[in-house]
Structure 1
């Protein structure tokens, strides 16, 4: 059985939490080496807040790119059957020919950076019929005003939101864009 996915501990750790959730979603607990948990936490939370405190501005895109490369090396070394790709700009494509669609349809995951009152990382676990199934690590008790953004509580090992694909395809600064 897969592990339940986790929520953030702070206002800033959506990046490492989403990466850890990806590993938890893909592998059983006994398969996950502690080194992967250590490395995810080590490489994330690298941005400095306005007050100069490290981590108080979350995880940079560069840290995620580095972590993606590290995961590939970890997988190639035979420690865990895992591979990763870092996509940017036009490469982030939800079309049926796109790498995101392909990964999700084959049982993979994607950690993506979206707007959610500031930059925020979430985990995508499935895509069906124009809807993306995702786990947002930011705990929310109140439903969205927008009825197209669905909160789900009965799939703790896979997703807690269902969002139309078109929201994630937007390039404006809007929720889940």
Structure 2
């Protein structure tokens, strides 16, 4: 059985929460090794803030790169059907033939670094026309009167009926932005992503679905 996707517990744990959500999205609960959950939490939250407090600057790109490699090697050793790739800088694009779009067309999931006032990790789970299905682990209620007005800018739609897949539908145009607005990936030099596949359910390119620009 597939689990519900989860929300972060603090202001800082979007990284491990989103990586865990990628595992929950791709695999049934009965398939998931407890080691995976353990080591995601162990190696994330590795950054220090200006006061020297560990974890209060979230999770670094180095930790995500390490976990991408660790998960792939774990899969090989344990015969667990997972494959991961870490992307950075100008590799992280959403053009028609990009690796991220190809991964979503083939049934993969993508951990993506964006901005939500500060750098923030979200999970991409699919495509609908020129929009991307997203699960944002930072819990917000769309009817909250204190909700930031930026959530209602063009290209952002709340989803409330797909708890195992998505809680946002965000336009490719917005995600591709080089600024620091809500859900923009920002400058190329700061971009990072992790592509994850369940290799047992990965679709072939011939069976993938094209997206519309």
Q: After TM superposition, is the score higher than 0.5?
A: yes
User: How far apart, CA to CA, are the structure 2 residues paired with 1:136 and 1:145?
Assistant: 15
User: How far apart, CA to CA, are the structure 2 residues paired with 1:57 and 1:93?
Assistant: 25
Asked if residue 148 in structure 1 is aligned to residue 155 in structure 2, the reply is: yes
* Structure-1-length-normalised TM-score: 0.96
User: How far apart, CA to CA, are the structure 2 residues paired with 1:148 and 1:118?
Assistant: 19
- Please state how far the C-alpha of 1:168 moved relative to its aligned partner: 1.2
Unaligned regions of 5+ residues in structure 2, if any?
144-150, 185-213
2:132 aligned counterpart, secondary structure:
strand
Q: Which of the two has greater strand per residue? A: 2
Partner of 1:139: 139
Partner of 1:4: 4
User: How far apart, CA to CA, are the structure 2 residues paired with 1:96 and 1:147?
Assistant: 21
* Structure-2-length-normalised TM-score: 0.80
| Relative contact order, higher structure (CA 8 A, sep 6+) | 2
Partner of 2:206: none
- Please state how far the C-alpha of 1:96 moved relative to its aligned partner: 2.2
User: How far apart, CA to CA, are the structure 1 residues paired with 2:99 and 2:155?
Assistant: 25
Q: Which has the larger radius of gyration?
A: 2
After TM superposition, list the pairs within 5 Å mapping 1:63-78 onto structure 2.
63-78=63-78
CA RMSD, 1 decimal: 1.1
Runs in 1 of length 4+ with deviation above 3 angstroms? none
2:86 aligned counterpart, secondary structure:
coil
Unaligned regions of 5+ residues in structure 1, if any?
none
User: How far apart, CA to CA, are the structure 2 residues paired with 1:106 and 1:76?
Assistant: 21
Asked if structure 1 preserves the Cα contact closer than 8 Å seen for 2:155 and 2:174, the reply is no
- Please state how far the C-alpha of 1:15 moved relative to its aligned partner: 0.2
Asked if residue 164 in structure 1 is aligned to residue 171 in structure 2, the reply is: yes
Between the two proteins, the alignment pairs up a number of residues equal to: 177
- Please state how far the C-alpha of 1:147 moved relative to its aligned partner: 4.6
1:114 aligned counterpart, secondary structure:
strand
Partner of 1:50: 50
Deviates more, 1:103-112 or 1:75-84: 75-84
User: How far apart, CA to CA, are the structure 2 residues paired with 1:135 and 1:76?
Assistant: 28
User: How far apart, CA to CA, are the structure 2 residues paired with 1:85 and 1:61?
Assistant: 13
